């Protein structure tokens, strides 16, 4: 509980109702001339890798949620192998962040294995 909450007696607990989804279409994001886009994807099965591969071949970075694959170890292995091959072909990079995300980069974009803020 924060100081003001203690003073005025307000409950400082948080819930998902405290957060608002932002509609990015409502924001001016430039004129569309970006050299690279960042895509967010969910992988439910191996077919979902097709769009991810296309994006990486087109020069875009993809952050993929693989949460749905946790119980299917062989599918996870196949998906990771496919995306590793794409990263290798385009001279990009790939990392698995935790158990739930893959980050795949296009040509010339590397992923640091060192967290910022760590000395």
Instruction: Give the CATH number, domain containing residue 53.
Output: 3.30.110.150
In a domain, 5, yes or no: no
Total domain count for the chain? 1
Q: What pLDDT does residue 15 have?
A: 61
In a domain, 14, yes or no: no
- In this model, does residue 11 exceed pLDDT 60? no
- In this model, does residue 4 exceed pLDDT 60? no
Q: What pLDDT does residue 17 have?
A: 66
Looking at the DSSP bridge assignments, the partners of residue 101 are 65, 97
pTM of the model: 0.71
How do residues 57-116 score in pLDDT, each as one tens digit?
Answer: 999 999 999 988 866 668 888 999 999 999 999 999 999 998 889 999 999 999 999 889
In a domain, 112, yes or no: no
CA distances, 79 to each of 12, 26, 40, 84, 89 (Å):
42, 34, 16, 8, 15
In a domain, 4, yes or no: no
Domain that holds residue 84: 36-105
User: Would you state the structure tokens that stand for residue 69, as one six-digit string?
Assistant: 């694959």
Q: What pLDDT does residue 74 have?
A: 82
In a domain, 23, yes or no: no
In a domain, 83, yes or no: yes
Neighbours of 108 (CB within 10 A): 11
Q: What pLDDT does residue 6 have?
A: 47
User: Would you state the structure tokens that stand for residue 89, as one six-digit string?
Assistant: 């072909």
In a domain, 45, yes or no: yes
Q: What pLDDT does residue 55 have?
A: 97
How do residues 50-71 score in pLDDT, each as one tens digit?
Answer: 999 999 999 999 999 998 886 6
């Amino acid at each position: 509980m924060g100081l003001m909450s203690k003073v005025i007696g307000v409950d400082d607990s948080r819930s998902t109702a405290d957060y608002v989804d932002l509609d990015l279409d409502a924001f001016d994001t430039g004129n569309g001339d970006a050299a690279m886009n960042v895509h967010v994807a969910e992988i439910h099965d191996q077919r979902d890798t097709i769009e991810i591969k296309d994006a990486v071949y087109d020069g875009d970075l993809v952050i993929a949620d693989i949460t749905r694959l946790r119980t299917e170890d062989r599918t996870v292995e196949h998906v990771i192998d496919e995306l590793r091959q794409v990263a290798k072909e385009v001279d990009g990079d790939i990392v698995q962040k935790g158990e739930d995300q893959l980050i795949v980069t296009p040509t010339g974009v590397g992923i640091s294995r060192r967290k910022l803020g760590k000395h």
